[in-house]
Amino acid sequence: MGRPRETSNKKQVRTNKEKKRKEKELKRIERKESGTNNFDDMIAYVDENGMLTSTRPDPMNKQEIEIESIEIGIPRSTNEPVDVVRHGVVSFFNDSKGFGFIKDLDTQESIFVHINGLLESIKENNRVTFEVEKGQRGLIAVKVKIDK
């Protein structure tokens, strides 16, 4: 039985692999002989301003930071008393769809209102009093009634 024939492509792939293996071995031997450790060249330090440097920071300039003063993420909400009853003007209201917006007179922000939050029927440009609750998408006006 004869030996299976090798195609030229298989020979080329085999020679390329052998060549890469020899180059890698030569580089490994050169690193061993030079005696330098390249790991030190790869280390980077962060200075007190947050910039990357190649010099090690001075331990004498170290600042002590209290762990409790570090806030990660969103700051905790404060339970400040919120003005319960607000005053505003209806800027838009669609009776057929049952929703609209009220412009708060104090903060000038537009607050969503749904027909379920109404105590009386309202129309555009009416002055109203209302309370604010947090909804799924933001603030919602509830207990809305016409300001007299």
Q: How far is CA 115 from CA 12, 43, 71, 122, in A?
A: 78, 63, 40, 9
| 1 domain-assigned | no
Instruction: Output the pLDDT for position 2.
Output: 61
- With 0-12 / 13-18 / 19 or more C-beta atoms within 10 angstroms meaning exposed / middle / buried, residue 115 is middle
Instruction: Output the pLDDT for position 36.
Output: 62
- Give the percent of the chain with pLDDT over 90: 45
Best CA proximity match to 60, nearest among 48, 44, 43: 48
Confidence (pTM): 0.45
Please state, in angstroms and rounded to a whole number, the distance separating the CA atoms of residues 22 and 12. Answer: 15
Domain enclosing residue 126, as ranges: 86-146
| 41 domain-assigned | yes
Taking only the tens place, the pLDDT of each residue in 45-101 is 888 788 888 888 888 887 888 888 887 887 666 665 555 899 999 999 999 999 999
| 4 domain-assigned | no
| 48 domain-assigned | yes
- At residue 127 the predicted structure's pLDDT band, cuts being 50, 70 and 90, is very high
Token pair in block for residue 87 = 């005053």
Taking only the tens place, the pLDDT of each residue in 15-48 is 999 999 999 999 988 888 876 666 767 788 888 7
The CATH number covering residue 110 comes to 2.40.50.140
Q: Rounded mean pLDDT of 3-7?
A: 70
Instruction: Output the pLDDT for position 119.
Output: 93
Q: Give the total number of structural domains in the chain.
A: 2
| 136 domain-assigned | yes
49 and 93 share a domain? no
Does the pLDDT at position 140 exceed 90?
yes
Instruction: Output the pLDDT for position 69.
Output: 85
- At residue 115 the predicted structure's pLDDT band, cuts being 50, 70 and 90, is very high
